[in-house]
Structure 1
Amino acid sequence: MVQLGCGITGLVCAELLESNEDVNEIVLADIDPDPAKEMTKRVKSDKFSVTQVDARDRQALRKLFRGKDLVVCALPGELNVPVMEAAISSGLNYLDFSMSNESIKHFVKIHRMFKDADLTAIHAMGCDSGLSDIMAKHAIGKLDSATEAYIRDGEISKIDGRDFVITWSPLEMMEEVTTPAPIFRHGEFIHLPPLHKREIYNFPEPVGPLPVYNTNHEETRLMPRFIRGLEKADFKISVNDNLAAAANMLRKLGMHSFEPVDVDGVRVRPIDVVTALIPRPIETIGKVKGYSCIVAEVIGMRDGKKTMLKEWIIMSHERAYELCRSNAVGYLVGVGGAIGAELLLSGKVRQRGIVAPEHLPTDYVIDRLPDFEIPVHEETTLL
């Protein structure tokens, strides 16, 4: 298999899959191979090899994929579709951790391409999306019926001397907080302005109350599509007040744009300038303190009574570093990806085409999480 993208999420996924008996080779591929080389010094295994590759070079991808059976893509979402197309042309099954606007737009077309090629693509199987969708579906299974499903992502991340910390892809985070946010209400999607309304959500301890906002996230689109009966669904994430202020100012200046502008004869995307100035998560691991918590909150009927059921997982940055030299976000995403790959490699997932997290065997995933020190907690409230 190929682990394409070797940052904090991809390297966790690869490290966890190293002990899998269905895996006999893991090629660690990235445009910057140094983090992968460091990991192989720590996790010594004959299964690992490291190579440098630019994922934007389709010929290089086809060469990399030759003779392999699976690619796990841990790249920014904007590269998902080109990697998918290269996987199809090379005859590889595929897994990634997130959806891009492009893959959402061409979802049906890409599904058919994988299906016609007799291949499987497990799409958006990280933590959120991924484990979050599966917790929502698992919780709904404990109700007689459900009409509402919400995902809440809360994070405490601190580094001395910094106003805010971004613990995963700065590019994707800045895009998320500067673009309109979809919410699902009674059969249709409504788009809210970026960082439209600040609310306080009480996350389970030790995280506690944090400011949250609706943002553009996969669960809002996946859950209504693949879980029957939902009338309302949305996603909210905690955003540090300093980050929210910076994101709003950058958006007003147009610095969130992906469209190149001319700077003294050089074409530059404004968003790339912004993210180049933000430390990469791989550079801050071991320094960041705090927790990451994902909550799935569903509302429906049980025994004739309106009921809210919550399921959540939590991980500390410190423990994630001890386990896999990552932060909590990278660890949770990597675990989700590793379980998805495990299901695919073992033959437990046989569907062809795109497979969403909601299609995966829910109980299997929930039961596997404690093996990675991520037990699923539950709380029931009568409304």
Structure 2
Amino acid sequence: MHSCSSRVSGRNEQVGEEIVRESPSLQFKKVDYRDKDALVAAMKGVSLVVHSAGPFQQRQTAEVLEAAIGAGVNYQDVCDDVDHMEMSRSLHDDAVESNITAAICTGIYPGISNLMAAKAIRDLDAAPEQVTFDYFTAGTGGAGPTILSTTFLLCGEDVRTYVDGKPSIKKPASGVRRVDFGEQVGHKNVFLLNLPEVLSIAEVYKVPNISARFGTAPDIWNVLTRFMACAVPKKILTNQALIAKFSEFIGPLVRAVDAIVGGTTAMRVEAVGSDGSSRSLLYGHEELSECVGIAAAAFTWHLLMSKNLPKGVLYPEELLSDPDEFEAVLESGVRTAFDWKTFTEKSL
């Protein structure tokens, strides 16, 4: 039997006190992530730092990872932003020199979705020719302003895809298509967004054609998102403070809609081989906010328990080179899903 103690850090003392009231075994320490010295001090004596203070979009530095490297402490984040991921990857050599493991993008998507893609690729009968990531979340999935801010900020980012082995830039919220997410979720419209798993799968598996799409419900939110991507100036969409205020302003409306549509999340990840063979993995969960925590916890447990962690700044698919450990983390990450299937036919 293994046990561990956890402490929570953040800038908002009121939120910290509420967390401790709900979970008395936790400790809370007020820390501003922008204060590197305070971060390093807060990390003293811990085995792992888990960074979940999103949104990650429009961050200019990877402060928490830099502090973890300085403190010599293993690190994990649930980053869902390409630029922040690349900033983190640029610290790979520093992490190796500090002898730490830094696992980045270890939430549900990206995170478990990366492992789904890796599994689909490995199960193909030929070399991978194409990988598509399709995601759906009803409303905000129970995540509230954070996912709302993330989506709006992504509307200000050009979308990186791969076509025939070369980077191909697309407009945000373009490329709409309809995807089958299984019987319980049904067919949903999804559109292109700039997501980090596209780049990591391209780098690790050399897949020539890759893209990622996202959609929500009700469909009016999709229409609003596409309108913002087309009509709102990029300098507004990339202003994190302004987007956060806007997300808070429409928060009451969003919460009312969430109460009606729920927080269902679904993922369909498909790999197609050069011979036309196909593998699709389908995942469905009742609540985004819950499944993100479960997914991150699967990676956390591995980082705490594994005796042979590679060093450096690593994508999820790089972290788990051992087949047994790979399957264990994937199984743990999807254990509460209401849908978990593998298909051999194409999604469209």
TM-score range, shorter chain: 0.7 to 0.9
Rounded to whole Å, the distance in 2 between the matches of 1:214 and 1:143 is: 25
Which of 143, 155, 171 pairs up with 2:137?
155
Match for 1:114 among 67, 80, 95?
A: 95
For residue 67 of structure 2, what is the amino acid of its counterpart? A
Q: Aligned to 2:292, what secondary structure does the other structure show?
A: helix
Q: Which of 320, 329, 337 is matched with 1:365 structurally?
A: 329
Q: SS in structure 1 opposite 2:62?
A: helix
Q: Are residue 381 (structure 1) and residue 340 (structure 2) matched?
A: no
What SS is found at the alignment partner of 1:354? Answer: strand
Q: Does 1:186 align with 2:168?
A: no
Any conservation in 2 of the 1:297–1:310 contact (CA below 8 Å)?
yes
Partner residue in 1 for 2:245:
273
Change in Cα spacing, 1:65 to 1:369, as seen in structure 2 (3 Å) is closer
2:107 is equivalent to residue 126 of structure 1: yes
How far off its partner does 1:283 sit?
7.2
Q: Give me the whole-angstrom Cα distance separating, in 2, the residues matched to 1:212 and 1:36.
A: 36
CA distance in structure 2 between the aligned counterparts of 1:332 and 1:74, rounded to whole angstroms:
14
C-alpha deviations, 1:72-129, integer Å up to 9, x for none?
Answer: 0001222771111111111111000115444444455311110010001001011110
Taking a change above 3 Å as real, the CA distance of residues 373 and 281 of structure 1, as seen in their structure-2 partners, is farther
**Structure 2: 5+ residue stretches without partners:** none
Relative to structure 1, the CA distance from residue 170 to residue 57 in structure 2 (aligned partners, 3 Å threshold; closer, same or farther) is farther
* CA-CA distance at 1:196 after TM superposition: 2.2
Match of 2:264 among 267, 291, 297: 291
Secondary structure, aligned partner of 1:299: strand
Shift in Å, 1:68: 1.7
Query: Distance in 2 between the 1:124 and 1:211 partners?
Result: 25
Does 1:339 pair with 2:298?
yes
Between the aligned partners of 1:349 and 1:314, the Cα distance in structure 2 is 31
For 1:283 and 1:220, locate their aligned partners in 2 and report how far apart those are by CA, in whole Å: 31
Query: Is contact 1:55–1:79 with CA below 8 Å preserved after alignment?
Result: no
Taking the TM superposition and a 5 Å limit, the aligned residue runs for 1:6-21 are: 21=2
Cα distance in 1 for partners of 2:253, 2:302 equals 28
Q: AA paired with 2:249?
A: L
User: Measured at CA, do residues 158 and 347 of structure 1 come closer, stay the same or move farther in structure 2, by a change above 3 Å?
Assistant: closer
Residue of 49, 54, 66 corresponding to 1:85: 66
CA contact (8 A) 1:201 1:211 kept: yes
TM norm structure 1: 0.77
* Secondary structure of 1:226's aligned partner: helix
Q: Distance in 1 between matches of 2:40 and 2:290?
A: 29
Let me know the Cα RMSD of the aligned residues. Answer: 3.1
| 8 A contact 1:143–1:300 mirrored in 2 | yes
Counterpart position of 2:211 = 234
TM-superposed CA distance for 1:168, in Å, is 4.0
Distance 1:285 1:332, change over 3 A: farther
Partner deviation per Cα, 1:308-341 (whole Å, 9 max, x = no partner): 211121111xxxxxxxxxxx22222212211111
Amino acid at match of 2:329: V
**Distance in 2 (alpha carbons) for counterparts of 1:286 and 1:190:** 35
Gap regions ≥5 residues in structure 1:
1-19, 160-164, 260-268, 317-327
Residue 179 of structure 1 and its aligned partner are, at CA, apart by 1.5
Answer yes or no: is the 8 Å Cα contact 1:151–1:297 preserved in 2: yes
Return the alpha-carbon distance in structure 1 between the equivalents of residues 85 and 23 of structure 2: 36
Once the two structures are overlaid, the 10-residue window that deviates more, 369-378 or 196-205, is 369-378
Amino acid at match of 1:300: G
Change over 3 Å in CA distance of 1:177–1:188 after alignment to 2: same
Q: State the AA in 2 paired with 1:31.
A: R
User: Once the 2 structures are TM-superposed, how far is the Cα of residue 63 of structure 1 from its aligned partner?
Assistant: 2.1
For residues 140 and 66 of structure 2, the distance between their equivalents in structure 1, rounded to whole angstroms, comes to 39
Judging changes above 3 Å, is the alpha-carbon distance between structure 1 residues 43 and 283 closer, same or farther for their aligned structure 2 residues?
farther
Q: How far apart are 1:215 and its partner, in Å?
A: 0.5
Aligned AA for 1:277?
Answer: F
1:132 deviates by 0.4
Q: Distance in 1 between matches of 2:253 and 2:285?
A: 16
CA distance in structure 2 between the partners assigned to 1:96 and 1:129 by the alignment: 11
User: What SS class does the counterpart of residue 232 from structure 2 fall into?
Assistant: helix
Aligned to 2:278: 308
Offset, 1:286: 8.4
TM value normalised by structure 2: 0.84
Task: Measure, in 2, the Cα distance between the counterparts of 1:285 and 1:38.
Answer: 25
Deviations 1:128-181 (CA, angstroms, capped at 9, x unpaired): 10100101111222222222111100122389xxxxx95743332211123111
Q: Which amino acid aligns with 1:236?
A: R
Distance (whole Å) between structure 2 residues aligned to residue 255 and residue 194 of structure 1: 15
How many residues align? The count is 333
SS at match of 1:150: strand
Partner Cα separation in structure 1 for residue 199 and residue 18 of structure 2 = 37
Indicate the percent of aligned positions where both proteins have the same amino acid.
19
